């Protein structure tokens, strides 16, 4: 168990927010000399989960396994892989668990659809409410009232 | 001896909470005034008993009484006094005790200040508070007793987790709990209203100050937690979308929605049913947060199943209260008459939009937090939902909310005029747009996202200022009269403007630091320099140091401007806490106006170098300063005469004078 993981669990057990731990993460000796490639590696790393940590990307983690994965990502990039190819390679080895942003798939449909569904439901409820009230407001005038109203208006003229 | 006294006081408090949960409820049903009156003394005495229990535990910590299991597990005789005191709630048992202490504090405050409430409403509110208190007191007594003894008593304790040995622990949990548990009052009011089957604008007026207070505390608690994580974590992140953080953010989102819908209800009598539902949901999310964090379910569904006592207990409490309240809602909500018609373009309309977006955002965060558990429970697969998902889904929902925010306060109730509102805000829009363009064309590395973000932040700040300026009659009256009018504006108006401006400041901070941050990761020898942003940082040397219960390596740095002028000295260190054998990092931070230079040191290399991480974090302090301004806004609003808790009814003269107030 890495220090970070231990601390995160300890914190999670103690408090509702904050997850302080020991700094570590990307080491100078891991970094690629090409700044463009290195930036791509950093961006990819931020979306990959450290498997032994709680909700931490490999870019933030000081765990051994995270380091291995960071090095792997850089090796693939240096070998000329595209971003998608690197992700595909990592997922094929470690499963979808490593993706901090889950793929859009039938299994994850509910997850991705939630914002849209809730927003739509809210808009529909509001629209129904408005139209119902419109009708309510329009209905109450009976023919007698209508006639009375006309009479009043005619008086004015 | 005092420990047993504390334990006994806690048992008495539990027995009393059962009385508080039943007698006033029965009294309100039967119309028996005497039974209803039992609520107040029970609530106040219960608070006194729990305070006694809490003080007994704190005393055991101060005295380092290691015959108490909880103290032995979480304290050390060499620990500084402050951390002995705060260590009382730096563990599961103690923090649950703090939770019920604050719950009973709020109950006692309703009893104390609630003399102007209708007797049956007050009785029902106190009864619901009694029910929550009895459930959690039973939870503590049955599964998490902080007073358990240890025989024979060890000589030395195991020390508090070093990460928690920080001032943050003194401030963050109490503030957070004041917010979390504060929403229990809105919940109790909602349930009481459903029991009564009666709800009106006066109800909203009673609920609003409690909600406002809870919201202000929660805002402060979350911000404090964020800053604590920022300086203690060692890489300067301020928000991680960690499930534990989400658990505190969810009640904030729905609590913010509640604050605004209660406003509509108070002023216009509309959104009654929705406000009651939101009050129930907000506290339900607080309870859910407690469950998520306390049960261990977050680590994995399987950890939860392997040690279920505490988790199942809280789950039962959760289902009882959320399920019970929602069932009551389904049964009685139709009895609450809807009211208040309004045009979509109006203050009400803007607040409905606010509620729609905030609720959707809350649902998104909730589903994102729970989805991995759901998938694991149903299919056995493990998936992760982390920051990239939340950023992608949360931002599109929050963006329109921020854009619409300045319009709310300048629109009229019932039927607003969008053109007139836009005219009032045109100057604010111009300032924001110009600033956005300037950032895009003048600042190095600024992306379109940075420019738009800065524009939106300033739009909120300037929009809030424009709102107050127009209400004070800017342009129509002279500066002296204008300032006097500004000062004389209702506090609720000033509070709204402050809170909205605070949100703008936070947005500015978040945007600047995420888009314009600079980072250097290097190996340094003493005497080496590293250039970052417009600065040059020299690593001087590294020296050992011994603290009361830790040893540390302090690295000394000197910061220079690009012109070579010395700006300051920064110390960043690595500590090793001997009792637990755990290391921590203490980041070195130099604040320059609103921005910070942040240094965190890593491991020594074999060649005698030191791994150093340096960040330039522009405008980062605005993130928390903005939250502070929001908190001040909430407090100012709370001090409004109209909402002052327990204030005597306004004199007729004063009532006439304030009749035309806005929100």
pLDDT, position A136: 60
| Contact between residue B209 and residue B495 where contact means Cβ atoms under 8 Å apart | no
Q: How far is A129 from chain B (nearest CA, A)?
A: 10
Asked whether residue A13 falls in the same domain as residue A82, the answer is: yes
Please name which of B182, B168, B257 lies closest in space to residue B217, comparing C-alpha atoms.
Answer: B182
Do the Cβ atoms of B163 and A21 come within 8 Å?
A: yes
Q: For B515-572, write each residue's pLDDT tens digit.
A: 999 999 999 999 999 999 889 999 999 999 999 889 999 999 999 998 889 999 999 9
The CA-based diameter of chain A, rounded to the nearest angstrom, is: 94
User: Do A89 and A69 reside in the same domain of the chain?
Assistant: yes
CA distances from B296 to A13, B318, B369, B377 (A): 7, 15, 14, 15
Examine the domain organization and report whether A12 and A30 are in the same domain: yes
Of B633, B638, B627, B636, nearest to B225 by C-alpha is: B627
Residues of chain B found within 8 Å of residue A102, distances taken between Cβ atoms? 371, 383-385, 389
Provide the pLDDT for residue B18: 97
Which of A56, A79, A101 is the last residue before a domain boundary? Answer: A101
pLDDT at residue B582 in the model: 85
A40 and A56, same domain (yes or no): yes
Query: Mean of the pLDDT values across residues A148-153?
Result: 79
Asked which of A58, A75, A101 is the last residue of a domain, the reply is A101
Using an 8 Å Cβ cutoff, are B219 and B249 in contact? no
A132 lies in the same domain as A82: no
pLDDT for the residue A18: 33
Q: Which of B240, B364, B613 sits opposite A19 (nearest CB)?
A: B240
A35 and A86 part of one domain: yes
**Nearest-by-Cβ selection for B383 from A12, A96, A137:** A96
> Is it the case that residue A22 has pLDDT exceeding 60?
no
Which residue in the block uniquely carries the two structure tokens 């607080």?
B286
Residue B15 parent element (H or E): helix B2-30
Smallest CA–CA distance from A113 into chain B, residue? B364
Sequence-separated (6 or more) residues with CB below 8 Å from residue B641: B490, B491, B647, B650, B654, B658
A53 and A61 Cβ atoms separated by less than 8 Å: yes
Taking one residue from A and the other from B, the number of pairs with CB-CB distance under 8 angstroms is 195
Indicate if the pLDDT at residue A86 is higher than 90.
yes
A112 plus A72 within the same structural domain: no
The angle at the Cα of B427, spanning B422 to B433, to the nearest 5 degrees, equals 95
Compute mean pLDDT per 10 residues along chain B, 663 residues long, and list them. Answer: 95 98 95 93 97 97 95 93 94 93 96 89 96 96 94 91 88 93 96 87 88 96 93 84 90 96 88 92 93 74 64 90 94 77 86 95 95 89 92 95 94 87 91 93 84 96 94 83 89 94 97 92 93 93 92 94 92 90 89 94 85 94 97 93 53 42 37
Of B176, B232, B240, nearest to A16 by CB-CB distance is B176
Complex ipTM: 0.84
Q: Cβ separation of A102 and B384 shorter than 8 Å?
A: yes
Q: Are residues A11 and A60 in the same domain?
A: yes
Residue A24: which pLDDT band, with cuts at 50, 70 and 90?
A: low
Same domain, A21 and A41: yes
User: What integer pLDDT is reported at residue B507 of this predicted model?
Assistant: 97
Task: Report helix, strand and coil shares of chain A as percent, to nearest 5.
Answer: 65, 5, 30
Percentage of residues in chain A with pLDDT exceeding 70?
77
Q: Which of B385, B396, B587 sits opposite A102 (nearest CB)?
A: B385
Helix axes B39-62, B92-113, angle to 10 degrees: 150
Q: Does an H or E element contain A76, and which?
A: helix A64-78
* Angle made by CA atoms B97, A11, B293, in degrees to the nearest 5: 60
| Domain positions in chain B | 405-516+622-645, 518-617
Cβ contact, residue pair A57, B243, below 8 Å? no
Select from A47, A55, A56 the residue whose CB has the most chain B CBs within 10 Å, as the one to mutate to test that interface: A55
> Which residues of chain B neighbour A48 with C-beta distances below 8 Å?
none
Question: What does the pLDDT read at residue B299?
Answer: 64
pLDDT of amino acid B555: 95
Compute and round to an integer the Cα radius of gyration of chain A.
30
Q: B233 and A21: CB-CB below 8 Å? A: yes
Q: Are residues A15 and A65 in the same domain?
A: yes
Nearest to A115 among B299, B364, B587 (CB): B364
For helices A3-14 and B272-295, give the axis angle rounded to 10 degrees. Answer: 130
Q: Do A7 and B387 touch (CB under 8 A)?
A: no
Residue-wise DSSP of A108-126: GHHHHHHHHHHHHHHHHHH
Measured on CA atoms in the order B538, B540, B542, B544, is the torsion positive or negative?
negative
Q: Do A57 and B379 touch (CB under 8 A)?
A: no
Q: Do B168 and A119 touch (CB under 8 A)?
A: no
Cβ contact, residue pair A60, B298, below 8 Å = no
Domain that holds residue A129: 107-156
* Cβ neighbours of B234 in A, within 8 Å: 20-24
CA distance A49 to chain B (A): 8
pLDDT at position A153 over 80? no
Name every chain A residue with its beta carbon within 8 A of the beta carbon of B289. 16
Provide the number of structural domains found in chain A: 2
Span B589-619, pLDDT tens digits: 999 999 999 999 988 888 888 999 999 999 9
pLDDT in tens, B51-82: 999 999 999 999 999 999 999 999 999 999 99
CA distances from B604 to B65, B534, B536 (A): 39, 27, 21
Query: How does pLDDT run across A94-118, given as a tens digit for each residue?
Result: 999 999 999 999 999 999 999 999 9
At residue B644, the pLDDT reads 58
Q: Per the CB < 8 Å rule, is A49 touching B386?
A: yes
Question: Based on the domain organization, do A113 and A93 belong to the same domain?
Answer: no
CB-CB: which of A16, A21, A101 is closest to B389? A101
**CATH number for the domain harbouring residue A30:** 1.10.8.640
Whether residues A149 and A111 share a domain: the answer is: yes
């Amino acid at each position: 168990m890495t220090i970070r993981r231990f601390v995160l669990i300890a914190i999670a057990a103690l408090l509702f927010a904050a997850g302080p731990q020991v700094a570590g993460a990307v080491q100078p000796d891991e970094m690629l000399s090409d700044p463009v490639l290195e930036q791509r590696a950093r961006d990819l790393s931020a979306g990959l989960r450290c498997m032994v940590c709680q909700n931490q990307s490999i870019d933030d983690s000081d765990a051994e396994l995270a380091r291995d994965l960071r090095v792997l990502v850089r090796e693939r990039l240096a070998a000329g892989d595209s971003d998608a190819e690197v992700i595909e390679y990592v997922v094929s080895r470690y499963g979808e668990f490593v993706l901090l942003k889950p793929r859009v798939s039938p299994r994850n449909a509910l997850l991705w659809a939630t914002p849209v569904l809730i927003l739509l439901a809210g808009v529909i409820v509001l629209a129904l409410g408005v139209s119902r009230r419109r009708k309510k407001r329009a209905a109450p005038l009976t023919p007698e009232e209508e006639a009375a109203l006309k009479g009043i208006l005619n008086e004015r003229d | 001896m005092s420990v047993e006294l504390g334990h006994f006081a806690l048992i008495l408090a539990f027995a009393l909470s059962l009385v508080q949960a039943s007698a006033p409820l029965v009294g309100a049903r039967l119309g028996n005034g005497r039974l209803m009156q039992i609520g107040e003394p029970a609530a106040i005495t219960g608070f006194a008993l729990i305070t006694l229990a809490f003080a007994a535990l704190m005393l055991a910590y101060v005295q380092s009484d290691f015959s108490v299991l909880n103290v032995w597990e979480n304290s050390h005789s060499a620990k500084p006094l402050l951390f002995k005191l705060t260590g009382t709630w730096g563990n599961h048992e103690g923090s649950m005790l703090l939770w019920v202490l604050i719950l009973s504090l709020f109950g006692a405050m309703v009893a104390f200040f609630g003399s102007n409430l209708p007797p049956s409403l007050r009785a029902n509110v106190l009864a619901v508070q009694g029910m929550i208190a009895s459930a959690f007191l039973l939870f503590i007594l049955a599964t998490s007793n902080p007073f358990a003894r240890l025989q024979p008593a060890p000589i030395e304790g195991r020390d508090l987790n070093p990460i928690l040995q920080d001032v943050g622990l003194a401030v963050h949990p109490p503030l957070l709990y004041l917010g979390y548990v504060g929403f229990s009052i809105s919940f109790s009011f909602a349930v009481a209203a459903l029991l009564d089957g009666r709800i009106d604008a006066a109800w909203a007026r009673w609920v609003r100050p409690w909600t406002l207070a809870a919201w202000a505390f929660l805002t402060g608690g979350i911000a404090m937690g964020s800053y604590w994580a920022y300086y203690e974590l060692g890489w300067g992140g301020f928000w991680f979308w960690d499930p534990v953080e989400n658990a505190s953010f969810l009640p904030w989102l729905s609590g913010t929605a509640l604050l605004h819908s209660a406003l509509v209800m108070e002023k216009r009598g509309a959104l009654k049913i929705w406000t009651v539902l939101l009050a129930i949901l907000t506290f339900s999310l607080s309870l859910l947060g407690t469950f998520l964090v306390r049960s261990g379910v977050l680590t994995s569904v399987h950890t939860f199943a392997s040690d279920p006592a505490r988790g199942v207990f809280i789950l039962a409490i959760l289902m009882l209260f959320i399920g019970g309240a929602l069932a009551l809602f389904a049964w009685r909500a139709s009895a609450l008459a809807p009211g208040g018609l309004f045009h979509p373009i109006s203050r009400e309309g803007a607040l409905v939009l606010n509620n729609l977006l905030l609720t959707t955002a809350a649902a998104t965060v909730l589903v994102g937090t729970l989805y991995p558990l759901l998938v694991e429970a149903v299919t056995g697969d493990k998936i992760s939902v982390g920051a990239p998902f939340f950023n992608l889904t949360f931002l599109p929902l929050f963006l329109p909310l921020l854009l619409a925010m300045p319009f709310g306060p300048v629109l009229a109730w019932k039927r607003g005029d969008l053109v007139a509102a836009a005219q009032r805000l045109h100057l604010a829009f111009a300032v924001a747009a110009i600033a956005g363009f300037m950032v895009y064309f003048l600042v190095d590395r600024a992306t379109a996202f940075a420019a738009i973000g800065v524009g939106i932040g300033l739009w909120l700040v300037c929009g809030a200022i424009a709102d107050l300026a127009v209400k004070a009659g800017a342009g129509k009256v002279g500066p002296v009269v204008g300032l006097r009018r500004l000062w004389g504006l209702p506090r609720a108006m000033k509070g709204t403007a402050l809170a909205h401006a605070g949100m703008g400041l936070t947005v500015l901070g978040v945007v600047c630091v995420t888009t314009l941050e600079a980072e250097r990761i290097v190996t340094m020898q003493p005497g080496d320099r590293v250039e970052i942003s417009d600065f040059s940082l020299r690593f001087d040397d590294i020296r050992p140091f011994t603290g009361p219960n830790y040893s540390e390596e302090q690295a000394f740095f000197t910061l220079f401007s690009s012109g070579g002028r010395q700006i300051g000295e920064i110390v960043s260190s690595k500590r090793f806490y001997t009792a637990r054998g755990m290391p921590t990092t203490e980041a070195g931070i130099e604040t320059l106006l609103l921005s910070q230079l942040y240094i965190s040191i890593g491991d020594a290399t074999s060649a005698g170098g030191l791994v150093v991480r340096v960040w330039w974090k522009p405008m980062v302090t605005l993130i928390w300063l903005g939250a502070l301004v929001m908190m001040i806004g909430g407090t100012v609003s709370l001090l409004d005469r109209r909402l002052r808790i327990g204030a005597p009814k306004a004199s007729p003269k004063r009532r006439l004078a304030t009749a035309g107030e806005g929100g």
